[in-house]
Amino acid sequence: MNLFQLRAFDAVAREGSFTRAASRLFISQPAVTGHIKALEEHYQITLLRRTARRVELTEEGIRLAAITRAMFGMAEEAQAMLEANRQLLTGRLEVAADGPHRVMPMLASLRARYPGITVNLRLGNAQETLAALLSEHADVAVLTEVEPRKGLHLQNLTPSRICALVPAGHPWAEDGRGIAIAQLNQQIMVLREPSSITRRTFDEACALAKVQPRVLLELDSREAVTEAVAAELGIGIVSSVEVSHDPRVQAVPIAGEGLVNRHMIGCLERRRELRLIKAFLDLAPAG
């Protein structure tokens, strides 16, 4: 089946004229006539009746026109969808992040600039977020402490510092000057699980400073740490970009080496020039 012949027939059926069909298809009128003649001869069928004033469809032509109108109508729909996506009027972006605090302002900027874009956000820990990106379950990802690797494009975001989280009214909260990491030695603490990036960075900084906190609880979420600190079960730690607005607790800066986390936004190198991914990368604040 020759699609050029069907396209020529569909144009004549829609326009009711060989001249207007030729203009619609940006080809010559003899070319339109030749395509339809070849179609009719190949299938031994009469599709059009040509009169001095107009072109009429035969019964077979009416049936075929219903098919070609639907077929080429869907092709035009596909073209319109693709063109809208190219202009970022529509589209879907899969985003992964190891926490909500960094990614939400970026999504707000994307929404403001490209309101037709739909975003699916998946939140997980650092390992899950990187795995989602590498397996192409996410188009872009906001990551913490990821080492460069072949095939991965990374852009630095503003780094964060680790803070102590204490109950409101705690002497360190009222002092307002922050603490030295040495002050956490032998303090009772409630911390995230050892696989947490924040916990890992904190443990490495403590080892560097020869500080040994007393870990009372290990918890699997930031929210659980906040609740434990609010209940005065111990001192927690939190990234400076994840400080809760909960009035029951307060973040206190910690002075010391190794208490900084690097944050990045990344995508697969071979996909970085895709328009929607590039648009999101361009909205990310530089670190």
In this structure, are 245 and 273 located in the same domain? no
95-153: pLDDT as tens digits: 999 888 889 999 999 999 888 889 999 998 888 999 999 998 999 999 998 989 999 99
Q: CATH number of the domain that 207 lies in?
A: 3.40.190.290
In this structure, are 121 and 249 located in the same domain? no
Domain extent for 27: 3-86
Q: Which helix (H) or strand (E) holds 189?
A: strand 188-192
Pairing of strands 91-97, 117-123: parallel
Place of tokens 């529509």: 90
In this structure, are 9 and 34 located in the same domain? yes
What does the pLDDT average to over 156-178? 89
Which domain-ending residue is among 57, 86, 115? 86
In this structure, are 82 and 203 located in the same domain? no
Token code pair at residue 286: 């530089």
In this structure, are 148 and 275 located in the same domain? yes
What does the pLDDT average to over 54-76? 89
Return d(Cα 283, Cα 113) in angstroms, integer.
Answer: 10
pLDDT at 32: 92
48-61: pLDDT as tens digits: 988 777 888 999 99
In this structure, are 71 and 192 located in the same domain? no
Q: What is the DSSP string of 225-271?
A: HHHHHHTTS-BEEEETTS----TTEEEEEEESTT-EE-EEEEEEGGG
In this structure, are 168 and 240 located in the same domain? yes
Q: Which helix (H) or strand (E) holds 166?
A: strand 160-167
In this structure, are 257 and 267 located in the same domain? no
Return d(Cα 120, Cα 126) in angstroms, integer.
Answer: 18
175-233: pLDDT as tens digits: 778 899 999 999 999 999 888 888 999 999 999 999 999 999 999 888 899 999 999 99
Pairing of strands 249-255, 179-180: parallel
In this structure, are 253 and 167 located in the same domain? yes
Q: CATH number of the domain that 108 lies in?
A: 3.40.190.10
Q: How far is CA 158 from CA 186, 262, 264, 287, in A?
A: 31, 7, 8, 4
In this structure, are 112 and 251 located in the same domain? no
Which domain-ending residue is among 86, 105, 124? 86
Return d(Cα 249, Cα 21) in angstroms, integer.
Answer: 73
Number of domains in the chain: 3
Q: What is the pTM of this model?
A: 0.65
In this structure, are 128 and 74 located in the same domain? no
Rounded mean pLDDT of the chain? 90
In this structure, are 246 and 186 located in the same domain? yes
DSSP state of 273: T
Asked whether the predicted pLDDT for residue 265 surpasses 70, the reply is yes
Return d(Cα 169, Cα 161) in angstroms, integer.
Answer: 22
